[in-house]
Structure 1
Amino acid sequence: MDRLPDEVVLQILAFLQVDDVVHIQAVSRRFLTLGRDNTLWKTVCFEDSKAESLRRRNFLLDKQDARIAELRNAVTALPGPDLTAWDVSQLRGSPQPRASHDPEAEARIQRARALANWEPGYPDEQLDYYEEYLQRHAPIDVAWLDLPKTQATDKEKSREATGSGTLTNADGNVEHLVAPLDDGSICVWDVSDRSTAGVGGRGRLITQSRPGLLTGLAPEAIAESHIKMTETGATECVSIDSDSKKGYFAVQNLLHEVDLHTLQIVSTKRYPWPVTALSEAKGKTPITVGTNWTVHLHDPRDPAFSDSNTDAGGELIGGSTYSHATLAESGPLSIVHDAGLSQDDSSIWIAGRFTSLLNYDRRFFPRLRGTIHSGARIAALGTLPYPLVPQTLDLIRNPEASISALLSARSTPGTTILAAAEYKGKGSLELYGLPRVQPYQNRQTASASKLLAVAPHGGRIVFSDGDGNLKWVERDGFSHVRTFNINDVLPGKSGVQDASSYGIWSSTASELPGQGDIVQKITPMHPVSSSSTASSIGGGRPDVNQSNLLLWTGDGRLGMLGFGPANPLGDDQWHEAVEAGAKTVEGRAKEDAERQYGMAMRRALERNADEVRFVRGLGFMG
């Protein structure tokens, strides 16, 4: 084998099972490189994709006996959750134009079209398809970060995170997680990547400020700080400037600028209404601040916003930041700045409880430049620095579309705004292509509940909903990849679902979704960038499968979602051994008794609620 050229070895690997290709990487350095060949894993990903399964299904349907057509049409007419209108028309036997009369040539052409249509990568994008395969098929696990404990009651309880932000390195990859807590303090965790030369951050708590820093209250006033930190309920209340190592934290109608080196407040700005959304802080671009009824530009270089005179005489972008835009409707929840790939990189996009996306130009602020009507109420925005391909260029669902037209659309400069929204009680995943607005709205198969967060993740899009689900779809916005429920890995969960967990705490009498935690914010460890390149960490090669997701949940938890059997934060055997030894037999018995008592009380309350509903149905209660 050592004498064979790489091309021959790769041809042999193409006939092996996936498990064998993974195991062969441990043979030598050469086989490690060949076993992670990008072209090889791109083919493997495609073979297990919905696009290839759809092509094979159509191929088999064409070969079916005509006598089965009536039965097939009758089954197709039945309602099904996984069938689109196009799928139904195809299953009913609509004729398709053929590219060749030779069956083998026709199969090769259709496979090439399906591959070109499925490929998530853009011409100038570097996707690692080995990681893509892992993130599409490997087991999912979530490691929860340790939050500081409180001794306010006789039972030890963890503090709650009221937001999250990230510090990134020069390559744009996340190294530290920054979060305010409900006691008014700020914590910083090390979540840096593992490599062949280091074990990574492992989610260690690096530092914590004093309680009450953000609320201005005494460290002992924990209850008062909790009320102030959780009253507004804003999701985008933290913005981190990785260049200057400054953090911006919104607490009610105050915006605090904090030096992350010393964890001390540098300046504070008061706004007329509670702050509900902050844009990202990056370079010298002013931060966009959204309150209940207004939109402001916050420039730290303005001496009115800073106690220091650093760069006080610098040129301010957009004129005086004292000017503001007034909103006709309340409730901005998410703000994004243009990714800079379109003709104009000074755009500000604002969305929220109103049914349109508002577009401002920073150079002519506060004049409104335009709007995009959605009809849905948007909870979160994200950006993908690549153009949105129109649905008319779908090579599978539109046989008349050409591969050249698809490649031309992919090569056109542009960016895509991702929106997680709610439309008439159901989830709506919305994509808006820029600079020429090309909207696509998935309001049929996204989710049965409101969408809460959205982000690009590798060659896919990930979003969360109100039932605790995390869902991955292809970049077309509707081709499902996989689903994971965050409540399956909550801390302290036994893993066995109580069969009687229904009643007053359930969304319905027979369904379990709606009881547990939800994901409010998703932050990729390696954000998708048009200039993303592989980087070295501490002189070593970055470990595989590091494109994890940082999660902030509705119950104030912080976690890292990873793929594969390993702990997403890395193995810490000493730490786990200490924790295991600390739990005595009596302690474990006490925990088990408390859990059994809680389950018994829950069942009793559920039976009582069912009896109340039964009596009310008989008409004995008003």
Structure 2
Amino acid sequence: MDALPEEVVLHIIRFLEVPDIVHFQRTSRRHLTLARDSTIWKLECFNSSRAEALRRRQVLLGAQDAKLAELRNAVTALPGSDLTAWDVSQLRGSAQPRASVDPEYAARVQRVRALANWEPGYSDERLDYYEEFVHRHAPISLGWLDLPKARTSDKEELREATGVGVLHDSDEHVQHVIAPLDDGSICIWDVSERSTTTAGGRGKIVAQSRSGLLTGQSPTATSDSRIIMTETGAVECASVDNTHSKALFAVQNRLHEVDLTTLQLVSTKQYPWPITALSETRNGVPATIGTNWTLHLHDPRDPAFGANEQESSGELIGGATYSHASLTQPGPLSILHEAAAGTGDSSIWVAGRFTSLLNYDRRFFPRLHGTIHSGARIAALGSLPYPLIPQSLDLIRNPDIPISLLADARTRPGTTILAAAEYKGKGSLELYGLPRQEPYQNRQTASASKLLAVAPHGGRIVFSDGDGNLKWVERDGFSHVRTFNINDYVSAKDREAARSQDASAYGIWSSTASEMPGQGDIVQKIIPTHPVTASSTGLATQGSGRDRADVNQSNLLLWTGDGRLGVLGFGHENPLGRDQWHDGVEDPQTESAEQRARVDAEKQYGMAMRRALERNADEVRFVRGLGMGYQRN
């Protein structure tokens, strides 16, 4: 095999099954590189896609006898019968196939068109299709970041994250997670990716500020700080400036600027109403601050921005305040800078509880530049730095469209705005192309509940809903890839915690929400650890040295409604890279014999109390209905 040319080895690999290709990678470094050829894995991804399944169905229908084809078309046209999958495809606009004179030739043509129509990558984008295949088929695992513990009275409680932001490296890969906690402190975790020689950050806590830093309360007044931190409940309440290692945190109507190196307050600015959304802070572009009724630009380099705004809403609406825009409807929830997608440097998009996307130009702020009517209430915005392909260029739905038109549309510059919304009680995934074109709104198959977050993830789009589901679809916004519910995943650590749970969660006091950790949780925010940018290649850095980035690390950082932070990965291993040895030495302070004895004693006491309460519950159930049969009305 070592003497064969690479072209011959690649041709041989095409005849292997997927498990055999994976085993073939382990034989040598040369075979590892060849067996991860992107073209091979692109075909594997396509073979298991819904586009290929539809093409195969069309081939089978087209290969039928001409008389059977006419009979089938006549039956399909009959009213009153239940629609089949093929009937649905007819309603979507594709023509009914006729019996082909040369079925093999027709199958080859249809396969070429289906592959061109399905391919998620653009002309200047290099996707790693080996990683794509892993993300589409490998089992999903979750690793939860360890939150700091707080001892209140005689019981230890975990702090809750009230927001989340990330620090990137030069390749736009997430290195650190920054989150404000419910006690008013700021915590930083190391989630840097592993390589062939290093274990990565593993989600370790690297720094934490004092309690009450963001609330102005004393470190001991954790109850007061918790009330302040959770009162507004804004999802986009943290924005990190990677260039200057600073971060903005919104707490009620105050905006705090914090130096992430020293974890000290740099400045505080007060706004007239509670802050509901913050934009990203990148490349020296001023951040956009959204309150219930106004929008503001925040640039710490400009002294005019540093002055406090008037606290009186009447004076603010009067127009005397520097650089603000008044909103006719309250409730901005997400702010997107088009510059974040690399396509512009001045556009600001605002969405929220109102039914339109508001567009502002930073050069003419606060004048409204334009709007896009949605009809839905949008909870989150995301961006894909590539143009939106209109539905009219779908090669499967429209057999007469040449492939050249689709290829030309993929080469044009543009950006696609992703929106997670709610329309008439159901989830709505919406795609808006810039420059302006006909948007696509999936309000039928996205979700039965409200969508909460959305982000591009490799060659797919991922979004979350109010039922705790994470769903991946193709970039067309319609074709389903896979679904995962965070409440269905229970790690070994969670199972052990459930077994040793306090006895009050069982018996007659039990509830569905308390029987398992994370039950009923939802994902409020999704952050890809490898964001899709116009300059990213999506390919793992192989290199020739010994220190090579490991594969399959384009994970998702999740912030849940219960205030937990997790990393979603693909494979059987913990995405944080922890193992049994690491878990055993993770906290050196618990290694002493005295502390181990105390932990064992607490577990034994908890089990004894559980058995006692369960017996008490059995007695209550037994005597609850005694004598009821002898009562008379």
TM-score band w.r.t. shorter chain: 0.7 to 0.9
Paired with 2:255 and 2:341, the residues of 1 have a C-alpha distance of 30
Q: Which runs of 5+ in 2 are unaligned?
A: 308-319, 500-505, 626-633
- What amino acid does structure 1 have at the position aligned with 2:526? I
- Kept in 1, the 8 Å contact 2:150–2:157? The answer is yes
Paired position in structure 2 for 1:401: 401
- Inter-CA distance 296–505: structure 2 relative to 1 (3 Å threshold): farther
Which stretches of structure 1, 4 residues or longer, exceed 6 Å deviation after superposition? Answer: 70-76, 340-343, 503-507, 536-539, 593-606
After superposition, give the CA deviation of every residue in 1:204-231 in whole Å (9 maximum; x if it has no partner). 0000000000000000000000000000
Is 1:518 the counterpart of 2:545 in the alignment?
no
Paired position in structure 1 for 2:628: none
TM-score norm. by structure 1 comes to: 0.87
- What amino acid does structure 2 have at the position aligned with 1:522? I
Paired with 1:585 and 1:488, the residues of 2 have a C-alpha distance of 29
- Kept in 1, the 8 Å contact 2:273–2:291? The answer is yes
Find 1:551's aligned residue among 541, 544, 558.
558
Is 1:563 the counterpart of 2:570 in the alignment?
yes
- Inter-CA distance 154–119: structure 2 relative to 1 (3 Å threshold): same
Paired position in structure 1 for 2:254: 254
Paired position in structure 1 for 2:488: 488
Paired with 1:295 and 1:207, the residues of 2 have a C-alpha distance of 32
Paired position in structure 2 for 1:577: 584
- What amino acid does structure 1 have at the position aligned with 2:125? E
Paired position in structure 2 for 1:352: 352
Paired with 1:61 and 1:401, the residues of 2 have a C-alpha distance of 21
- Kept in 2, the 8 Å contact 1:356–1:373? The answer is yes
Paired position in structure 2 for 1:315: none
- Kept in 1, the 8 Å contact 2:174–2:529? The answer is yes
Paired with 1:518 and 1:530, the residues of 2 have a C-alpha distance of 30
- What amino acid does structure 1 have at the position aligned with 2:535? S
- What amino acid does structure 1 have at the position aligned with 2:167? L
Q: Following TM superposition, by how much is the alpha carbon of 1:385 offset from its aligned partner in structure 2, in angstroms?
A: 0.2
Paired position in structure 2 for 1:28: 28
Q: Following TM superposition, by how much is the alpha carbon of 1:97 offset from its aligned partner in structure 2, in angstroms?
A: 7.1
Aligned pairs for 1:237-252 within 5 A: 237-252=237-252
After superposition, give the CA deviation of every residue in 1:458-507 in whole Å (9 maximum; x if it has no partner). 0000000000000000000010000000112357654999xx99x99789
Paired with 1:340 and 1:214, the residues of 2 have a C-alpha distance of 27
Is 1:327 the counterpart of 2:310 in the alignment?
no
Percent of pairs with identical residues: 64
- Inter-CA distance 571–341: structure 2 relative to 1 (3 Å threshold): closer
After superposition, give the CA deviation of every residue in 1:261-311 in whole Å (9 maximum; x if it has no partner). 00000011100000000000012211000000000000110225559xxxx
- Kept in 2, the 8 Å contact 1:254–1:269? The answer is yes
- Inter-CA distance 588–116: structure 2 relative to 1 (3 Å threshold): farther
Q: Following TM superposition, by how much is the alpha carbon of 1:398 offset from its aligned partner in structure 2, in angstroms?
A: 1.2
Is 1:175 the counterpart of 2:200 in the alignment?
no
Paired position in structure 1 for 2:533: 529
SS at match of 1:333: strand
Paired with 2:618 and 2:427, the residues of 1 have a C-alpha distance of 31
- Kept in 2, the 8 Å contact 1:159–1:181? The answer is yes
RMSD (CA atoms): 3.5
SS at match of 2:261: coil
Paired position in structure 2 for 1:618: none
Aligned pairs for 1:80-229 within 5 A: 83=85, 86-87=88-89, 89=91, 95-96=96-97, 101-229=101-229
Q: Following TM superposition, by how much is the alpha carbon of 1:74 offset from its aligned partner in structure 2, in angstroms?
A: 8.5
SS at match of 1:488: coil
Paired with 1:296 and 1:15, the residues of 2 have a C-alpha distance of 59
SS at match of 2:410: helix
Q: Following TM superposition, by how much is the alpha carbon of 1:599 offset from its aligned partner in structure 2, in angstroms?
A: 9.9
- Inter-CA distance 6–384: structure 2 relative to 1 (3 Å threshold): same
More deviation in 8-17 or 530-539?
530-539
More deviation in 584-593 or 514-523?
584-593
- Inter-CA distance 166–101: structure 2 relative to 1 (3 Å threshold): same
Q: Following TM superposition, by how much is the alpha carbon of 1:577 offset from its aligned partner in structure 2, in angstroms?
A: 2.6
Q: Which runs of 5+ in 1 are unaligned?
A: 308-319, 612-622
After superposition, give the CA deviation of every residue in 1:418-440 in whole Å (9 maximum; x if it has no partner). 00000000000000000123311
Paired with 1:74 and 1:593, the residues of 2 have a C-alpha distance of 69
Paired with 2:619 and 2:88, the residues of 1 have a C-alpha distance of 49
Q: Following TM superposition, by how much is the alpha carbon of 1:85 offset from its aligned partner in structure 2, in angstroms?
A: 6.7
- What amino acid does structure 2 have at the position aligned with 1:158? L
Paired position in structure 2 for 1:314: none
After superposition, give the CA deviation of every residue in 1:363-393 in whole Å (9 maximum; x if it has no partner). 0000001100000000000000000000011
More deviation in 193-202 or 217-226?
193-202
TM-score norm. by structure 2 comes to: 0.85
Paired with 2:30 and 2:611, the residues of 1 have a C-alpha distance of 55
- Kept in 1, the 8 Å contact 2:342–2:533? The answer is no
- What amino acid does structure 1 have at the position aligned with 2:534? S
- What amino acid does structure 2 have at the position aligned with 1:87? S
- What amino acid does structure 1 have at the position aligned with 2:377? R
Q: Following TM superposition, by how much is the alpha carbon of 1:58 offset from its aligned partner in structure 2, in angstroms?
A: 1.5
SS at match of 1:489: coil
SS at match of 1:52: helix
- What amino acid does structure 2 have at the position aligned with 1:277? A
Paired with 1:424 and 1:602, the residues of 2 have a C-alpha distance of 44
- Kept in 2, the 8 Å contact 1:379–1:419? The answer is yes
- Kept in 1, the 8 Å contact 2:282–2:340? The answer is no
Q: Following TM superposition, by how much is the alpha carbon of 1:15 offset from its aligned partner in structure 2, in angstroms?
A: 1.1
Q: Following TM superposition, by how much is the alpha carbon of 1:75 offset from its aligned partner in structure 2, in angstroms?
A: 12
Paired position in structure 2 for 1:383: 383
SS at match of 2:25: helix
- Inter-CA distance 73–131: structure 2 relative to 1 (3 Å threshold): farther
SS at match of 2:472: strand
- Inter-CA distance 254–278: structure 2 relative to 1 (3 Å threshold): same
Paired position in structure 1 for 2:311: none
- Kept in 1, the 8 Å contact 2:455–2:463? The answer is yes
- What amino acid does structure 2 have at the position aligned with 1:229? M
Paired position in structure 2 for 1:616: none
Paired with 1:271 and 1:432, the residues of 2 have a C-alpha distance of 31
- Kept in 2, the 8 Å contact 1:299–1:321? The answer is no
Paired with 1:473 and 1:604, the residues of 2 have a C-alpha distance of 52
Paired with 2:327 and 2:115, the residues of 1 have a C-alpha distance of 46
SS at match of 2:12: helix
Aligned pairs for 1:424-435 within 5 A: 424-435=424-435
Paired with 2:617 and 2:55, the residues of 1 have a C-alpha distance of 49
- Inter-CA distance 75–133: structure 2 relative to 1 (3 Å threshold): farther
- What amino acid does structure 1 have at the position aligned with 2:564? R
- What amino acid does structure 2 have at the position aligned with 1:527? P
- Kept in 2, the 8 Å contact 1:415–1:434? The answer is yes
- Kept in 2, the 8 Å contact 1:268–1:305? The answer is no
Paired with 1:76 and 1:407, the residues of 2 have a C-alpha distance of 40
Paired with 1:73 and 1:506, the residues of 2 have a C-alpha distance of 48
- What amino acid does structure 2 have at the position aligned with 1:38? S
Paired position in structure 1 for 2:461: 461
Paired with 1:452 and 1:600, the residues of 2 have a C-alpha distance of 43
SS at match of 1:335: strand
Q: Following TM superposition, by how much is the alpha carbon of 1:556 offset from its aligned partner in structure 2, in angstroms?
A: 0.2
After superposition, give the CA deviation of every residue in 1:313-343 in whole Å (9 maximum; x if it has no partner). xxxxxxx982200000000000001147787
Count of equivalent residues: 585
SS at match of 1:521: strand
Q: Following TM superposition, by how much is the alpha carbon of 1:173 offset from its aligned partner in structure 2, in angstroms?
A: 0.7
- Kept in 2, the 8 Å contact 1:455–1:461? The answer is yes
SS at match of 2:213: coil
- Kept in 2, the 8 Å contact 1:342–1:434? The answer is no
Paired with 1:125 and 1:601, the residues of 2 have a C-alpha distance of 65
Q: Following TM superposition, by how much is the alpha carbon of 1:84 offset from its aligned partner in structure 2, in angstroms?
A: 8.7
